[in-house]
Structure 1
Amino acid sequence: MSLFVQRLKWMINGFNRSASVSPKSLDCPDVKPLTGPNELDVLKPSYSNPFKQRMMEVSNEISIYIHRFHNLDLFQQGWYQLKIMLRWEDGDSGLGIPARVVQYEAPDLGSNDIIGVWRIDDTDHSFSTPPFRIRYARQDILLAMMVSFSIPLYKLEGISKSAVILKFELLYTPVLENRSIVQTCLDTSPAAVHEFRLPPKALLGLHVYCPVYFDAFHSVLVDTCVHASLLKRRVYTTSQKVSSDTKDNGTGASTWHDRATQIIAVKALSSARDILVEELQKLSKAIDKPIDIKDFTLKELTSLTQADLDLADAEVPKQQKPNGEVDYSSDSILHSLPEDKLLKAFDLIGNQMFYLWSMFLNFHRVNVKKILEFLCEEWAVDRQTEWSIWMVHTKVEMPHQHVSSMSEDSSSNGSRGKTLSLRKLTRDPAQMAAMRAELHRRSIAQMRINSRSVQDMYIFGDPSRIPIVIVERVVHAPISSTSGNSYFSQVEEKDKNSLNAVADPKPSNTLSVAGTHQKGRILKIVVFVHGFQGHHLDLRLVRNQWLLLDPKTEFLMSEVNEEKTSGDFREMGQRLAQEVVSFVKKKMDKASRSGVLRTIRLSFVGHSIGNIILRTALTDTAMIPYLRYLYTYLSVSGPHLGYLYSSNSLFNGGLWVLKKFRGTQCIHQLTFTDDSDLQNTFLYKLSKERTLEHFQNIILLSSPQDGYVPYHSARIESCAASVGDNSRKGRAFLEMLDNLLDQIQSPSSEHRMFMRCDVNFDISTQGTSLNTIIGRAAHIEFLETDIFAKFIMWSFPDLFR
């Protein structure tokens, strides 16, 4: 197939906008672009005039496929539009020029949700989608279009040094009665911006899924894919001017600098060709659609073979690939070629690249949905590796029972046992965790991240400011328990090399509506519970990340305790239980009507005292039938052990005021002042309720910077103040700790995952304020950022879907 015929097909299949560049814009004097009847004539080399220098020009072509706009959680209805621009990172070489737009599926222009068509702005060289109207949450707008940007490379040395910034802007305007002025109102200023960086390595060849998620106030998902390659732009002639740094070869026809530039161009095109061939083969195999490219160099185009090198220096080692092609990555080969052969190699490899790129674009259009699914799955797998920069994975053993250990030490070793226990916790664990995170943050600041994948500038823009997550997977250690067969040993034996392998629910959890059939839908429900004086949307960022990971999950943002969190935990728990049961029944009835319901996965997420409320709700009799369906429990800074050993004097003063002057019942319960006998207090009794043992996965999120919730209380572990405290207070604390850990070690679930995750935020930008002094900044940061949730959820996807 000739290039001319291929060009005609492009014009039939979609709009083709050629980016023309005038000779003046090339910044090269005396440039005379070649012209001819068609593009192939332009590519043919001419070597008749030894005083004319043949110049090679290449360009990066970056194609962005925009599949759909999915509204996760936009606050405002109205008209929205996506605007896309490309530029060099250094900003010295101009902007990317939209060269081609292909509409894969025709939009419904008669719909009230889309008006107008896409457009290209010649002022800033941007591309904009048609304006579309957002009416409700979880709304999809199908865009299905590919826009290709061309970025000429005037400085070939920049091939391996410069990166490209891909910029998405979200434009917004309210609903207007006059639809004709919508576009004018959209052009004012962007509501949100999201940028990505394409590293130099990626510009030679890249085919990746690139989801666009703007920010916390504009929670949308734009499904996009980025495809990049290096293409030959053209070859032109220019008069040769001999300068002081010119090495005359006897004819005055070439300089060392020009030849080095030519070699760079040939090597770069050769690398891009090899990458594109490999990517095409990978895509073809992944989606099980054949694509024949193995003989393209022989059947479609002419290629230089080893015989062509016989005209070069005979002393040059003859290097070739198994298929007979010249290995253009070899410096010795390229330096040995005379100028006419080097130009011929550039022409031929460039034609091959043009042919392969055209083949890919056609292949992508025919198989776009399967390619999108494959790239999306590949992206999800790669997240754990990329985000491991900010995550530290460790394994720790489950401790012995604290009360029995304390008794044994006291009886057998006397004061010596107490001294050994104190020695283990001489330093504050919160301070040690903060120091560990800070050292890791400093190492990241000195790190040079040189990857080939697209880099999200929300994360890679300033890597040292991203939260550090230290993940501790708690594994089994021998304990004095009623059960001699621990589930931890089974998990370790089954999953020695994976941190996130979680099995499906046990067959005993199968609902009666499905009988013994294994086919049917799994109804997944997640309940979010806010904290003290909170709002039902406090955890919306965590919910949105969960929704991105598993769009089929049903979510309940609990509202029954809004403005009622000052009362008794028992009453709050009862209200929550009734709300959950009503929601689950409604979703079960709906799922049963639409098909067979196999089982339920009921998960809970709590923030602050919301964790105490939800654990209390699980003790309600109304929840008993649903306990066997509990799946994942995510505790976000929950005071599970109360404030018995709280070291934050400022915060303790605030709690005293709430108890003294406002009579806040839940604060009395959290500080164990609701009864004179500690063993009759609410939290002590709650620790004996078997609430945690029903979950298959338990993740405790804490932060050493959080002064609102004691560090040990959020992690359900001992603290320095409790060690060696033989008073009634110390013994009651350790008994509560043992009660909770026994539930986690209970063999009720064969494959339970228990993790503690320390989240260390960068709060240095907040300066010295009351929030940072009292520790509120980190406590609220859990609600105002979602990067930590993104890291954890995409690193352990089986726990959340």
Structure 2
Amino acid sequence: MFRKLKWFTPFSHRNWSIKRLPNANNHFPNPKSPASPLSSASTPTAVIDVTIDTLYEIAIYIHRFHNLDLFQQGWYQIKISLRWEDSEVMGIPARVVQFEAPEPGPEGTSGVWRIDDTENSFWTQPFWIRYARQDVYLSVMIAFNLADSRHEGPSTSAVILKFELMYAPRLENGLELLSSLGACPAAVHEFRIPPKALLGLHSYCPVHFDALHTVLVDVTVHISLLKASSSTASLKSDFKTQEAWGQLASVGRKQVMFVKALITAYEILLGDLQRISEAIDHAIDLTDCTFKLDDTKLFGCVDCTVLGQLSGMQQNGVEKAEGKTDLNDELSDSISWGDLLNAFQILGNQILSLWNTFLMFHREFNLIKRVGKGWSVVDNSSLNTRANRAKVMEFLCDTWANDRKAEWSIWMMYSKAEVPSHLLSTGLDESSYRAFRAKALSMQKYSVSEDPAQSAAMRAELHRRSIAQMRINNQSIQDMHIFGDPLHIPIVMVERCTSAPLCTTSGNLYFSQLDQRDKHGFLVRPSIKAVEKSIGASSQPAGHVLKIVVFVHGFQGHHLDLRLVRNQWLLIDPKIEFLMSEVNEDKTDGDFREMGLRLAEEVISFLKKKMDKVSRSGNLRDIKLSFVGHSIGNVIIRSALTESKMEPYLRFLYTYVSISGPHLGYLYSSNSLFNSGLWLLKKLRGTQCIHQLTFSDDPDLQNTFFYNLCKHRTLEFFKNILLLSSPQDGYVPYHSARIEMAQASLWDNSKKRAIFLEMLNDCLEQMYAPSSEHRVFMRFDINFDTSSQGRNLNTLIGRAAHIEFLESDIFAKFIMWSFPELFR
């Protein structure tokens, strides 16, 4: 059932045969011409090979299997197959190349790759996964031949590329391992190759499988349309009727369209090969497999400007179909069938030669070096093959990442927001507040909804409906986790915040003394220069940059709650060191100050350990310390940053990602059901952090935890601040997660309103403080599709969206790959 293949040419050339009437130009007659045989009494016949079987070859390079987050040790294997989207016709494995021998043994591979003739599928070698972030270099290429006999000319159907992850526990018996691996896939990931991409595609294609089997399989996919065979279809016509000529003319149009498709495939293949070779600084001699599009050999003695017309028929064909002159009618007057078939032969041979050069380039690039103007094969030991391969991979990965920004913009909406100037002005007098309130009242008349969260949800829903009207038919591989059901993908509204020149209320954005605390127990912050002097900042420019990301869970959470966000960050920057905070696990009922102290001690211990490790191997040039928090984990982070122990490390703060964090507490919370639950927690369990969240920890609001937390500079040292919120999240007030004005405060004349505006002003001042020359402050509004969940208690109280931040990673993928510079 299984077979092993060697490198070989997938098919042999088949020549077109034609028997046609002799005439002066060796043409088929034009029915519009007076001299056409249609007007004579003779009854000519013709026998023509007219049926074209389109053939595509899809080469899949499997470079590396990287274990990001598999939960189980054991044997794993990847199964690959492809088929037409609208039929069960499978691609046939045609050739296999093993670039280098995989590492054997319990931590490498076992056995060999194989092909299943029954399913027309390819199986990699089984490999043993033992620990996290383990690499297995498979270094194998499998090429599938995929024919389309249903259509004459280029296919209009897409292709489904399927990857299956097979799993088996460790067994001593090899036969048991083989049968166990083939039982059932542990995870499946499918990609769709659109019809446009079948003409030519050379793309990086990362395979991640699913949230329970988070891995990275580095795959590159290369596709080309090759010259296909022709089958004989006899057409005997007396040419006495216009209908008979119409049948023959329709056959000619399909053949012309196929020649045009071959030209497109040739140009794509040649252009991509040249771009890749230039990007890695290795020129390739393509003299033997390239020609100019105006070469007279293509159409014999015919005026070769027609070939230029053929090259531009993709756009022209639309206009012709609307009633304008058909270009094929013009071709029937200038190109004979023999010339057309000759062009088919020449293009097919050129594409086949170029395609084999392309595949050999990937195959041999790891084994060759440049000698003068030519190439010389060298021994593997004298060349770092993986370093060379990384050049090609880096180019394709960068191209893929740039393309994703445009592709995923379908689900993203962009806007700019200017912070109200009165919030950053000196003092918050009553006159400015009244003017702002009057403006808000006048705008309310034209507002669709009084609730900003409802307005945001409505805008996202309107955008989701517009996606339903789109025809997504690009020329890149489509991830079916996203494109399988585009309407169920989260909508991300991106708001880049800007402000006018900043005037502060305090006049000094930094605190003056080291290790000094106020009466509420918060640290009084020193200046940056004082911090640098205390730690002894190094001026050495060279050395290693230590990048650390700390992930902090929320109320009654688990240290692995943010593992999906962590995995996406690792894909952006594999060199980060991450800490999944565990110190407050099962301890989130207490005081935020105590939780912050424990987190600070945990972070410092982790930092010192990593710093010592880097120092032993070389100079430590810089540190980038980032934080990611979910729910009240953000409050714990800000509380930890007030600790005196964190002082020496504050200047290293880099990116802060707040996922639904209640930065302004629960003042003006509009979720009555959730507020009732908080009241019960306070009454029945006396949870201290709930008292602090609801400002009931002190009768005087100016002595409460949150009021004083906002007074202290916990945000201004970050270079990038990203606030993620969701209008569907009822667990955290919408305005509190976004650090913006609560609309309910506009109608409040009590002291609570003044306290809230002062807290808001203090937070915004920190994010617009001049302590960083280039600070990025952005808000991201995530609208999840909850239609499949129905109306239940989770959706009513807003818990579903709050937990969706932890159970979905698509929103994180969109944000991180759209703004990768913030996470590197």
Question: Fold match, TM over 0.5?
Answer: yes
Letter aligned with residue 340 of structure 1: G
Residues 52-84 of structure 1 show CA distances to partners (whole Å, capped at 9, x for unaligned) of: 535433301111110011000001111111111
Aligned equivalent of 1:419: 438
Corresponding residue SS for 2:131: coil
Corresponding residue SS for 1:611: helix
Residues 287-313 of structure 1 show CA distances to partners (whole Å, capped at 9, x for unaligned) of: 1111222564569x9962565217xxx
Give the C-alpha shift of residue 124 in structure 1: 1.4
Aligned equivalent of 1:530: 553
Corresponding residue SS for 1:542: helix
User: 263, 266, 277: which is aligned to 2:270?
Assistant: 277
The answer as to 2:816 corresponding to 1:793 is: yes
What aligned pairs does 1:743-754 form with structure 2 within 5 A after superposition? 743-754=766-777
- Structure 1's 201 and 475: CA in aligned 2 closer, same or farther, altered over 3 A? same
Q: Is the 8 A contact 1:633 1:695 kept in 2?
A: yes
Aligned equivalent of 1:155: 150
User: 217, 223, 226: which is aligned to 1:228?
Assistant: 223
User: 664, 679, 704: which is aligned to 2:727?
Assistant: 704
Following the alignment from structure 1 to structure 2, what is the Cα–Cα distance between the partners of residues 666 and 265? Answer: 70
The answer as to 2:401 corresponding to 1:371 is: no
User: 652, 661, 668: which is aligned to 1:645?
Assistant: 668
What aligned pairs does 1:459-608 form with structure 2 within 5 A after superposition? 459-481=482-504, 515-608=538-631
Q: Is the 8 A contact 1:319 1:327 kept in 2?
A: no
Q: Is the 8 A contact 2:290 2:354 kept in 1?
A: no
Q: Is the 8 A contact 1:399 1:479 kept in 2?
A: no
Following the alignment from structure 1 to structure 2, what is the Cα–Cα distance between the partners of residues 287 and 766? Answer: 49
Give the C-alpha shift of residue 256 in structure 1: 3.3
What aligned pairs does 1:18-167 form with structure 2 within 5 A after superposition? 39=12, 42-43=14-15, 45=17, 47=19, 50-51=46-47, 53=49, 55-91=51-87, 94-110=89-105, 112-157=107-152, 159-167=154-162
Following the alignment from structure 2 to structure 1, what is the Cα–Cα distance between the partners of residues 426 and 795? Answer: 37
Following the alignment from structure 2 to structure 1, what is the Cα–Cα distance between the partners of residues 508 and 590? Answer: 41
Aligned length in residues: 738
Letter aligned with residue 306 of structure 2: Q
Higher mean alpha-carbon deviation, 278-287 vs 472-481, is at 472-481
Corresponding residue SS for 2:228: strand
Give the C-alpha shift of residue 159 in structure 1: 2.0
Give the C-alpha shift of residue 108 in structure 1: 2.8
Following the alignment from structure 1 to structure 2, what is the Cα–Cα distance between the partners of residues 584 and 791? Answer: 29
Corresponding residue SS for 2:702: helix
The answer as to 2:293 corresponding to 1:304 is: no
The answer as to 2:234 corresponding to 1:208 is: no
Give the C-alpha shift of residue 575 in structure 1: 0.4
Letter aligned with residue 477 of structure 1: A
Q: Is the 8 A contact 2:299 2:339 kept in 1?
A: no
Residues 699-727 of structure 1 show CA distances to partners (whole Å, capped at 9, x for unaligned) of: 00000000000000000111111114231
The answer as to 2:306 corresponding to 1:319 is: yes
Q: Is the 8 A contact 2:52 2:152 kept in 1?
A: no
What aligned pairs does 1:233-272 form with structure 2 within 5 A after superposition? 233-240=228-235, 255-272=248-265
Aligned equivalent of 2:178: 183
Aligned equivalent of 1:498: none
Higher mean alpha-carbon deviation, 156-165 vs 348-357, is at 156-165
Runs of 5+ in structure 1 lacking a partner?
Answer: 1-12, 21-38, 311-316, 487-504
Following the alignment from structure 1 to structure 2, what is the Cα–Cα distance between the partners of residues 745 and 701? Answer: 18
Aligned equivalent of 1:16: 7
Give the C-alpha shift of residue 370 in structure 1: 2.2
Aligned equivalent of 1:289: 282
Following the alignment from structure 1 to structure 2, what is the Cα–Cα distance between the partners of residues 386 and 599? Answer: 35
Q: Is the 8 A contact 2:17 2:48 kept in 1?
A: no
Q: CA RMSD in A?
A: 3.1
Letter aligned with residue 767 of structure 2: I
Corresponding residue SS for 2:339: helix
The answer as to 2:397 corresponding to 1:393 is: no
Aligned equivalent of 1:489: none
- Structure 1's 158 and 458: CA in aligned 2 closer, same or farther, altered over 3 A? farther
Higher mean alpha-carbon deviation, 261-270 vs 138-147, is at 261-270
Give the C-alpha shift of residue 422 in structure 1: 3.9
Aligned equivalent of 1:347: 345
Corresponding residue SS for 1:351: helix
| TM-score, normalisation: structure 1 | 0.86
Letter aligned with residue 671 of structure 1: T
Corresponding residue SS for 2:229: strand
The answer as to 2:806 corresponding to 1:783 is: yes
Following the alignment from structure 2 to structure 1, what is the Cα–Cα distance between the partners of residues 64 and 684? Answer: 54
| TM-score, normalisation: structure 2 | 0.84
Corresponding residue SS for 2:463: helix
Letter aligned with residue 369 of structure 1: A
- Structure 1's 745 and 404: CA in aligned 2 closer, same or farther, altered over 3 A? closer
The answer as to 2:464 corresponding to 1:441 is: yes
Give the C-alpha shift of residue 483 in structure 1: 8.6
Corresponding residue SS for 1:732: helix
Following the alignment from structure 2 to structure 1, what is the Cα–Cα distance between the partners of residues 401 and 772? Answer: 28
Higher mean alpha-carbon deviation, 264-273 vs 554-563, is at 264-273
Following the alignment from structure 1 to structure 2, what is the Cα–Cα distance between the partners of residues 407 and 527? Answer: 36
Corresponding residue SS for 2:759: helix
Q: Is the 8 A contact 1:639 1:714 kept in 2?
A: yes
Letter aligned with residue 120 of structure 2: H
Following the alignment from structure 1 to structure 2, what is the Cα–Cα distance between the partners of residues 459 and 244? Answer: 53
Corresponding residue SS for 2:401: helix
Give the C-alpha shift of residue 689 in structure 1: 1.1
Following the alignment from structure 1 to structure 2, what is the Cα–Cα distance between the partners of residues 406 and 721? Answer: 21
Residues 536-576 of structure 1 show CA distances to partners (whole Å, capped at 9, x for unaligned) of: 00000000000000000000000000000001111101000
Following the alignment from structure 2 to structure 1, what is the Cα–Cα distance between the partners of residues 471 and 700? Answer: 58
Following the alignment from structure 2 to structure 1, what is the Cα–Cα distance between the partners of residues 202 and 240? Answer: 41
Higher mean alpha-carbon deviation, 742-751 vs 474-483, is at 474-483
Following the alignment from structure 2 to structure 1, what is the Cα–Cα distance between the partners of residues 50 and 440? Answer: 80
Aligned equivalent of 2:39: none
Corresponding residue SS for 2:208: coil
Following the alignment from structure 2 to structure 1, what is the Cα–Cα distance between the partners of residues 107 and 822? Answer: 40
Following the alignment from structure 2 to structure 1, what is the Cα–Cα distance between the partners of residues 741 and 555? Answer: 25
- Structure 1's 157 and 660: CA in aligned 2 closer, same or farther, altered over 3 A? farther
The answer as to 2:700 corresponding to 1:681 is: no
- Structure 1's 644 and 48: CA in aligned 2 closer, same or farther, altered over 3 A? closer
Corresponding residue SS for 1:255: helix
Give the C-alpha shift of residue 752 in structure 1: 0.5
Corresponding residue SS for 1:233: coil
- Structure 1's 356 and 374: CA in aligned 2 closer, same or farther, altered over 3 A? same
The answer as to 2:791 corresponding to 1:771 is: no
- Structure 1's 267 and 662: CA in aligned 2 closer, same or farther, altered over 3 A? same
Following the alignment from structure 2 to structure 1, what is the Cα–Cα distance between the partners of residues 540 and 776? Answer: 27
- Structure 1's 305 and 644: CA in aligned 2 closer, same or farther, altered over 3 A? closer
